[in-house]
Chains A and B, each alone.
Chain A
Amino acid sequence: MSKPKTHSPPKLAVLLLSISVAWKFKEEAETDLNELFQIRLANHGLKYARRQYWRDVLSIWSRRSWFEEFEFTHLNTFSMFKNYMKVTFRNLRKQKIYTSINILGLAMGLAFCCLIFLYVQDELSFDNFHEKGDRIYRVERVSLESDGTIHGNNPNNSIPLGPALVQDIPGISTFTRLYNESLFVKSDGDPIQELITFSDPEVTDIFSFTFISGNPENALSNPGSVIISYSAARKYFNNTDPLGKTLQVRLDQTYEPFTVTGVYLDQPKNSTVDFNIVLPIAVSPYYTPDFIDRWSMSIYHTYVLVNDQIEGEDLNPNLDDFFNKYHDDYIARVREQQSLASDAQPLSYRLNKLTDIHLNSVSDPMYSFILSGIALGMLLIACINFMTLSIGRSSKRSKEIGLRKVIGAYRHQLMAQFWGEAFVICFISLILGIVLAEAALPVFNSLSGKMLNFNYFDNRVTLLVLGGFVVFTGLLAGSYPAVILSGIKPVVTLKGSFKLNGANLFTRSLVVVQFALSVLLIIGTLVMKNQMDFIQEQDLGYDKEQVVTIDLNGMDGIKLANQFRNTIGDEASIVDISAMGNSLGRRGSYGYGYNYNDQHVSLNVFTIESNYLDILGLELVDGRNFNPDLSTDSLNSVLVNETLVKELELEDPVGKEIPGFDSQNHGKPVIIGVVKDHYFQSMYNSMEPAFFTINPVWGHSSLLIRIRPENTQQSLALISDTWKLLVPEIPFSYSFLDDELNKIYQNDQRWTTIINYSSFFAILIACMGLFGLVTLTVSSREKEVGIRKVLGATITQITSLFAKDFVKLVALGVFIATPIAWYFMNQWLTNFAYHISIGPVHFIIAAVLVLTISLITISVQTIRAGSTNPAETLMND
Chain B
Amino acid sequence: MTVQKLGELEELILLAIGGLREEAYTVSIQQFLEKHTNRSISMGALYTSLERLSKKGFATSEMTNPVAERGGKSKRVYEVTYEGECALREAHDSRLTLWNKFQWSPAWA
Say whether, besides A28-B76, A31-B71, A55-B42, A60 and B27 are in contact (CB < 8 Å): no
In the assembled complex, A324 has its CB within 8 A of some CB on chain B: no
- CB neighbours (8 Å) of B70 from chain A are 31, 35
Distance A488 CA – B40 CA, assembled complex (angstroms):
58
- CB neighbours (8 Å) of A28 from chain B are 26, 75-76
Distance A33 CA – B46 CA, assembled complex (angstroms):
12
Residue of B nearest to A53 (CB): B43
- CB neighbours (8 Å) of A60 from chain B are 42-44, 47
Q: How large is the interface on A (under 10, 10 to 19, 20 to 34, 35 or more residues)?
A: 20 to 34
A189 shortest CB reach to chain B, Å: 66
- CB neighbours (8 Å) of B26 from chain A are 28, 32
In the assembled complex, B1 has its CB within 8 A of some CB on chain A: no
B58 shortest CB reach to chain A, Å: 18
Say whether, besides A28-B76, A32-B26, A36-B27, A58 and B44 are in contact (CB < 8 Å): yes
In the assembled complex, B30 has its CB within 8 A of some CB on chain A: yes
Distance A52 CA – B30 CA, assembled complex (angstroms):
12
B108 shortest CB reach to chain A, Å: 34
Q: Are B73 and A31 in contact (CB under 8 A)?
A: yes
Q: Are A29 and B71 in contact (CB under 8 A)?
A: no
In the assembled complex, B31 has its CB within 8 A of some CB on chain A: yes
Q: How large is the interface on B (under 10, 10 to 19, 20 to 34, 35 or more residues)?
A: 10 to 19
B48 shortest CB reach to chain A, Å: 5
Q: Chain A 51-71 against B: per-residue CB contact (8 Å), 1 yes, 0 no? A: 010011011111100000000
Distance A58 CA – B43 CA, assembled complex (angstroms):
9
Say whether, besides A34-B71, A35-B70, A62 and B27 are in contact (CB < 8 Å): no
Q: Are A39 and B27 in contact (CB under 8 A)?
A: yes
Q: Chain A 1-41 against B: per-residue CB contact (8 Å), 1 yes, 0 no? A: 00000000000000000000000010111011111100100
Q: Are B27 and A25 in contact (CB under 8 A)?
A: no
B75 shortest CB reach to chain A, Å: 8
A40 shortest CB reach to chain B, Å: 9
- CB neighbours (8 Å) of A31 from chain B are 70-71, 73, 75
Q: Are A52 and B47 in contact (CB under 8 A)?
A: no
In the assembled complex, B45 has its CB within 8 A of some CB on chain A: yes
Q: Are B45 and A63 in contact (CB under 8 A)?
A: yes
Say whether, besides A31-B71, A34-B71, A62 and B44 are in contact (CB < 8 Å): yes
Distance A31 CA – B73 CA, assembled complex (angstroms):
8
Residue of B nearest to A36 (CB): B27
B105 shortest CB reach to chain A, Å: 37
Q: Are A36 and B30 in contact (CB under 8 A)?
A: yes
- CB neighbours (8 Å) of B76 from chain A are 28
Distance A35 CA – B43 CA, assembled complex (angstroms):
12
A492 shortest CB reach to chain B, Å: 51
Residue of B nearest to A60 (CB): B44
Distance A52 CA – B46 CA, assembled complex (angstroms):
14
Distance A411 CA – B30 CA, assembled complex (angstroms):
47
List residues of A (45-88) whose CB comes within 8 Å of B's CBs.
52, 55-56, 58-63
Distance A36 CA – B44 CA, assembled complex (angstroms):
13
Interface of A, helix, strand, loop or mixed by DSSP: helix
Residue of B nearest to A55 (CB): B42
A360 shortest CB reach to chain B, Å: 52
Q: Are A59 and B71 in contact (CB under 8 A)?
A: no
Q: Chain B 17-49 against A: per-residue CB contact (8 Å), 1 yes, 0 no? A: 000000000110011000000001011110110
Residue of B nearest to A61 (CB): B44
With beta carbons under 8 angstroms apart, the residue of B31, B40, B43, B69 that contacts A29 is B43
- CB neighbours (8 Å) of A56 from chain B are 42-44
Distance A808 CA – B42 CA, assembled complex (angstroms):
70
- CB neighbours (8 Å) of B71 from chain A are 31, 34
- CB neighbours (8 Å) of A63 from chain B are 44-45, 47-48
Distance A34 CA – B43 CA, assembled complex (angstroms):
12
List residues of B (40-79) whose CB comes within 8 Å of A's CBs.
40, 42-45, 47-48, 51, 69-71, 73, 75-76
Distance A57 CA – B27 CA, assembled complex (angstroms):
14
Residue of B nearest to A52 (CB): B40
Q: Are B40 and A32 in contact (CB under 8 A)?
A: no
B6 shortest CB reach to chain A, Å: 20
- CB neighbours (8 Å) of A29 from chain B are 43, 47
Distance A787 CA – B82 CA, assembled complex (angstroms):
87
- CB neighbours (8 Å) of A61 from chain B are 44
- CB neighbours (8 Å) of B48 from chain A are 63
- CB neighbours (8 Å) of A58 from chain B are 44
Interface centre among A60, A61, A62 (most CB of B within 10 A): A60
Q: Are A39 and B45 in contact (CB under 8 A)?
A: no
- CB neighbours (8 Å) of B27 from chain A are 32, 35-36, 39
Q: Chain B 71-105 against A: per-residue CB contact (8 Å), 1 yes, 0 no? A: 10101100000000000000000000000000000
- CB neighbours (8 Å) of A27 from chain B are 73
- CB neighbours (8 Å) of B40 from chain A are 52
- CB neighbours (8 Å) of A62 from chain B are 44
B62 shortest CB reach to chain A, Å: 13
Distance A149 CA – B76 CA, assembled complex (angstroms):
74
With beta carbons under 8 angstroms apart, the residue of B31, B44, B51, B73 that contacts A59 is B44
Distance A60 CA – B51 CA, assembled complex (angstroms):
13
B51 shortest CB reach to chain A, Å: 8
- CB neighbours (8 Å) of A59 from chain B are 42-45
- CB neighbours (8 Å) of A33 from chain B are 43
A4 shortest CB reach to chain B, Å: 16
Interface centre among B40, B43, B48, B75 (most CB of A within 10 A): B43
Interface centre among A32, A34, A55 (most CB of B within 10 A): A32
Distance A55 CA – B45 CA, assembled complex (angstroms):
11
- CB neighbours (8 Å) of B43 from chain A are 29, 32-33, 36, 56, 59-60
B8 shortest CB reach to chain A, Å: 17
Residue of A nearest to B50 (CB): A25
Interface centre among A29, A31, A52, A55 (most CB of B within 10 A): A31
Distance A595 CA – B7 CA, assembled complex (angstroms):
95
Distance A468 CA – B69 CA, assembled complex (angstroms):
50
Distance A70 CA – B76 CA, assembled complex (angstroms):
25
- CB neighbours (8 Å) of B30 from chain A are 36
Distance A32 CA – B51 CA, assembled complex (angstroms):
16
Distance A266 CA – B103 CA, assembled complex (angstroms):
61
- CB neighbours (8 Å) of A25 from chain B are 47, 51
Residue of B nearest to A30 (CB): B73
Residue of A nearest to B51 (CB): A25
Residue of B nearest to A56 (CB): B43
- CB neighbours (8 Å) of A32 from chain B are 26-27, 43
Distance A557 CA – B10 CA, assembled complex (angstroms):
92
Q: Chain A 231-245 against B: per-residue CB contact (8 Å), 1 yes, 0 no? A: 000000000000000
Q: Chain A 635-662 against B: per-residue CB contact (8 Å), 1 yes, 0 no? A: 0000000000000000000000000000
List residues of A (476-528) whose CB comes within 8 Å of B's CBs.
none
A148 shortest CB reach to chain B, Å: 61
Distance A27 CA – B70 CA, assembled complex (angstroms):
12
With beta carbons under 8 angstroms apart, the residue of A34, A39, A55 that contacts B31 is A39
Distance A62 CA – B44 CA, assembled complex (angstroms):
8
Residue of A nearest to B25 (CB): A32
A501 shortest CB reach to chain B, Å: 54
Residue of B nearest to A64 (CB): B44
Distance A60 CA – B48 CA, assembled complex (angstroms):
9
A13 shortest CB reach to chain B, Å: 12
Distance A676 CA – B33 CA, assembled complex (angstroms):
101
B101 shortest CB reach to chain A, Å: 37
B68 shortest CB reach to chain A, Å: 12
A618 shortest CB reach to chain B, Å: 87
A52 shortest CB reach to chain B, Å: 7
- CB neighbours (8 Å) of B47 from chain A are 25, 29, 60, 63
Distance A62 CA – B43 CA, assembled complex (angstroms):
11
B36 shortest CB reach to chain A, Å: 15
Question: What are 5 A-B interface contacts by the 8 Å CB criterion?
Answer: A36-B30, A52-B40, A60-B43, A60-B44, A60-B47
Given contacts A31-B70, A60-B47, 6 further A-B contacts (CB under 8 A): A28-B26, A28-B76, A29-B43, A31-B73, A52-B40, A63-B44
Please list the 10 inter-chain residue pairs (A to B) with the smallest Cβ-Cβ separation, ordered nearest first. Answer: A59-B44, A59-B42, A56-B43, A60-B44, A63-B44, A31-B73, A32-B26, A35-B27, A63-B48, A25-B47
